[in-house]
Structure 1
Amino acid sequence: MRLRRRLAVLGLAASAIWAGGAAAQEPGPPRDPGTAGTWELALDGSFRRCGLMLAAEAGPVGQALRFPAGCRRALPVVNGLSGWRREGGLIQFLDREGQPVLAFAAPEGPGAWTAEATTGERYSLAQAGARPAAPEAPLVTPAALSAPSAPRESWALAPATAAAVTGLYTLDRFIEKDVCRVMLRADGAQVQEGCRDPGLALFDPTAWHYEAGRLVLVARRGHSVELVPVGEGRWRRDPEIGTTFVLRRVEP
């Protein structure tokens, strides 16, 4: 009888150990490495956009979602985001409780994913490099100039083509002048040696494009800054988005 009892106890212990091991090995929430990567989030009907990283590893909720600090001001909706997941054919951006804030539906053909916020704002999400490049033809069209986001005083100051924007520019901040220089070439942007402005050096623009009368600098990490023309080869950062500074064209 004692032997039988011992065997029964050992059998229960083995079962408990096996069950515990199985629980420890049970996989967590499924991950979606196919969707992971660099994407661009944009507010439809505006020039506000930001580069995001949809990471493959787990985050506080869902999978980790990363974005540069500048996105918090350019697109305030990201302030409430803590992760993302792919579910039911949708790419969902999640809040701290794991609830969807934005649910992006796939396009029927080529194009960006789209979502509508509870406020009625519509957003688009495109994989990095998927948005079409700005055309080389003149970009200042009546439709572009009538866009509500373009300041009226800048309409007559906007260059007609992207080629007219290329050149060497210096950065002016308030009373500080010529603190950093950046070269805008047809194939990209580059901060010049001797830059004394930590903000622009950290931003590190490597690309740019010109559309609808606005100059957009694109950082190495994917986020962007928009500038409006103020005449005489000068561009001012859009005051609606962040701290004002001016890029002023200079001779090499």
Structure 2
Amino acid sequence: MCLRRLLPVLGLAIWAGGAAAQDVGPPRDVAGAAGPWELALDGSFRRCGLMLAAEPGPVGQALRFPAGCRRALPVVNGLGGWRQEGDLIQLLDREGQPVLAFAAPEGESTRSAESLSGERYSLAQAGTRSAAPEAPLVTPAALSIQPSAREASRDFWTGAPATAAAVAGLYTLDRFVEKDVCRVRLVAESAQVQEGCRDPGLALFDPTAWHYEAGRLTLVARRGHSVELIPVGEGRWRRDPEIGTTFLLRRVEP
């Protein structure tokens, strides 16, 4: 091809490359939401700083958080990125599926979302959330006050199993007054939902693993998020904190 014919082609290529370079960057909606945010578990002191980055990540846009968040808010263990669709901010699992979807708040309230397992979380831009209330001081006088019988059976049960092996077994999920709606077998750190489960929430949560440490039982979902439970009686566990729908595991005979 002669040089005279080649010049227009080269000019078109240079113009296209320049236009493409001008288009590089995050979408307009993403650029507006990108920045530091704070994720909190409602009804608790558990909070975590998130960085919603503008650059692409493994799924959606990149998501960053301190290592300490993995213990403070186990739900972040399964997160792989984030995206914004209109006014909706979604935190995504590693397959790009939404784990938490935060709609635009009304007025000056924070964004709120409920997980598949029933916990409610709030999301606020860093610096806009009011400070968490200080934890009450534990004084000798407070320690001398005996809990009521109801409190002792709910929150102060001291017979927690000593080992994970003592926790393993077959459990049924109780919801409100309805009993035995779904059964889960805990064995060798594997959680298996039994056939005939009539609870859509637990079926959607789909626990596949569990672990036990320091008196706390943690169920881990297939997507990586988790639910923590504390013992409230012999063979009985409830979600902690006790928010959302009732989540009570009761040990049953096979």
TM-score (norm 1): 0.54
Count of paired positions: 173
How far the C-alpha of 1:188 sits from its partner, in A, is 0.7
How far the C-alpha of 1:32 sits from its partner, in A, is 5.6
| More deviation, 190-199/223-232 | 223-232
Match of 1:195? Answer: 197
Q: Percent identity?
A: 53
How far the C-alpha of 1:186 sits from its partner, in A, is 1.4
Q: Deviations over 1:110-152 (max 9, x none)?
A: xxxxxxx99589xxxxxxxxxxxxxxxxxxxxxxxxxxxxx98
Q: Does 1:236 align with 2:247?
A: no
Match of 2:225? Answer: 223
How far the C-alpha of 1:37 sits from its partner, in A, is 9.7
Match of 2:140? Answer: none
Unaligned runs of 5+ in 1: 1-6, 81-94, 96-100, 103-116, 122-150
Q: Distance in 2 between matches of 1:165 and 1:179?
A: 20
How far the C-alpha of 1:14 sits from its partner, in A, is 7.5
Q: Distance in 1 between matches of 2:213 and 2:204?
A: 24
How far the C-alpha of 1:246 sits from its partner, in A, is 1.1
Give the counterpart letter for 1:49 in structure 2: P
How far the C-alpha of 1:211 sits from its partner, in A, is 1.6
How far the C-alpha of 1:162 sits from its partner, in A, is 1.1
Q: Does 1:49 align with 2:74?
A: yes
Match of 1:141? Answer: none
Q: Distance in 1 between matches of 2:18 and 2:130?
A: 39
For the Cα contact (< 8 Å) 1:36–1:53, is it kept in 2? no
Secondary structure in structure 2 of the residue aligned to 1:202: helix
For the Cα contact (< 8 Å) 2:172–2:251, is it kept in 1? yes
Match of 1:165? Answer: 167
Taking a change above 3 Å as real, the CA distance of residues 239 and 60 of structure 1, as seen in their structure-2 partners, is closer
TM-score (norm 2): 0.54
For the Cα contact (< 8 Å) 2:157–2:233, is it kept in 1? no
Taking a change above 3 Å as real, the CA distance of residues 120 and 196 of structure 1, as seen in their structure-2 partners, is closer
How far the C-alpha of 1:200 sits from its partner, in A, is 0.5
Q: Deviations over 1:172-230 (max 9, x none)?
A: 11111111000000131010000001011111100111122111111101111111111
Q: Distance in 2 between matches of 1:195 and 1:39?
A: 36
Give the counterpart letter for 2:99 in structure 1: P
| More deviation, 227-236/197-206 | 227-236
Taking only aligned residues, the RMSD between alpha carbons, in angstroms, comes to 4.2
Match of 1:68? Answer: 99
How far the C-alpha of 1:48 sits from its partner, in A, is 3.6
| More deviation, 19-28/241-250 | 19-28
Q: Does 1:20 align with 2:15?
A: yes
Match of 1:181? Answer: 183
Secondary structure in structure 1 of the residue aligned to 2:198: coil
Q: Distance in 2 between matches of 1:211 and 1:71?
A: 23
Taking a change above 3 Å as real, the CA distance of residues 186 and 52 of structure 1, as seen in their structure-2 partners, is closer
Give the counterpart letter for 1:163 in structure 2: A
